[in-house]
Amino acid sequence: MSADKLSKVEKLYEGKAKVLYQSTDPSLLITFFKDDATAFNGQKKGSIGEKGVCNNSISSNIFMMLEAHGIKTHFVSKLSEREMVVKKVTIIPIEVVVRNKVAGSLAKRMGAPTGKELPEPLVELYYKDDSLGDPMINRGHAKAFNLATDQELEHIETEALKINKLLVEFFKGIGLDLVDYKLEFGRSPEGVLLADEISPDGCRLWDINSGEILDKDRFRKDLGKLTETYQEVNRRVSSMVK
Ligand code: C5P
């Protein structure tokens, strides 16, 4: 079945920013991007007008760029303004954070100044469990608690560094400094695929010239211009791809 003829059959899961539906093709799901925004493990809630439209467009374009460079992702096609067709995967319950500069929880944990360049990209693993507040783990924890196999962990970390090179270059081309971001991977019959989304909801993006924050930290820190920020990132990403 062609992906653009698909329709939603059943709601499978509603997350903080997206709703996942089974589609008429058993191997494909439809992701619906909402405007809802949350921060601090759901303690702060709000809505950002047009966020869903922007994040769907930004993520679709970035997944296409990564696929064109040999990264295997769950992305199939953009179905509508707020909907994306993706391959059905079983999400590996590990959030992979890649950092190029110090910010956020790393600044706090290490007592280091925000903005400090790291000598090389840093890959961190967190156990994806909201009830525990997504604690940081290492490979040993991941193996001991059967979150992923050795082979999967090796693949995920190698892939994360490949993705980082591509993303840093891509964002640099549109005047954005990619400070850090979160990736998720999923198991599928084709192997482990990059899943979830890549958008200002899960990335720190700073304007290279002005240093202006162009990501969800504007919501976390009440900096205003929320819709405008997501639209600006979408405008820049679209200009690069089309
Ligand atoms: O909070 P922290 O500094 O560890 O976040 C690092 C990066 O990972 C940020 O870009 C943040 O947006 C992203 N992140 C995320 N979802 C989480 C935790 C972190 O998107 N649950």
pLDDT digits (tens, 9 = 90+) for 114-133: 999 999 999 999 999 999 99
Q: Which atom of ligand 1 is nearest to the CA of 217?
A: 12
Whether 180 is in the pocket of ligand 1, judged by its Cβ within 6 Å, is: yes
Q: What is the pLDDT of residue 218?
A: 98
Distance 7 CA to ligand 1 centre (A): 32
Q: Which atom of ligand 1 is nearest to the CA of 180?
A: 10
Helix, strand, coil percentages (3-state) for the chain, rounded to 5, are: 35, 35, 30
Does residue 34 sit in helix, strand or coil? coil
pLDDT in tens, 67-77: 999 999 999 99
Which among 51, 132, 182, 204 is the best mutation to test ligand 1's pocket, defined by most ligand atoms within 8 Å of the CB? Answer: 182
pLDDT at 2 over 80: no
Whether 182 is in the pocket of ligand 1, judged by its Cβ within 6 Å, is: yes
pLDDT in tens, 129-149: 999 999 999 999 999 999 999
pLDDT band of 8, cuts 50, 70, 90:
very high
Whether 152 is in the pocket of ligand 1, judged by its Cβ within 6 Å, is: no
| Mean pLDDT, the chain, integer | 97
**Three-state SS letters, 56-68:** HHHHHHHHHHHHH
Which among 180, 217, 219, 221 is the best mutation to test ligand 1's pocket, defined by most ligand atoms within 8 Å of the CB? Answer: 180
CA atoms within 13 A on the CB side of 94: 29
Distance 106 CA to ligand 1 centre (A): 10
In this structure, the number of other CB atoms found within 10 A of the CB of residue 83 comes to 19
pLDDT band of 224, cuts 50, 70, 90:
very high
Residue type, 75: F
Whether 204 is in the pocket of ligand 1, judged by its Cβ within 6 Å, is: yes
Buried/exposed code over 175-198 (b: 16+ C-beta within 10 A; e: otherwise): ebbbbbbbbbbbebeeebbbbbbb
Q: What is the pLDDT of residue 5?
A: 84
Write down the H helix ranges in the chain.
Answer: 51-68, 104-110, 139-144, 150-172, 217-220, 226-241
Q: Which atom of ligand 1 is nearest to the CA of 182?
A: 8
Whether 101 is in the pocket of ligand 1, judged by its Cβ within 6 Å, is: no
Q: What is the pLDDT of residue 1?
A: 59
Q: Which atom of ligand 1 is nearest to the CA of 124?
A: 4
Q: What is the pLDDT of residue 99?
A: 99
Whether 203 is in the pocket of ligand 1, judged by its Cβ within 6 Å, is: yes
pLDDT at 242 over 90: no
Distance 221 CA to ligand 1 centre (A): 14
In this structure, the number of other CB atoms found within 10 A of the CB of residue 126 comes to 18
pLDDT at 98 over 80: yes
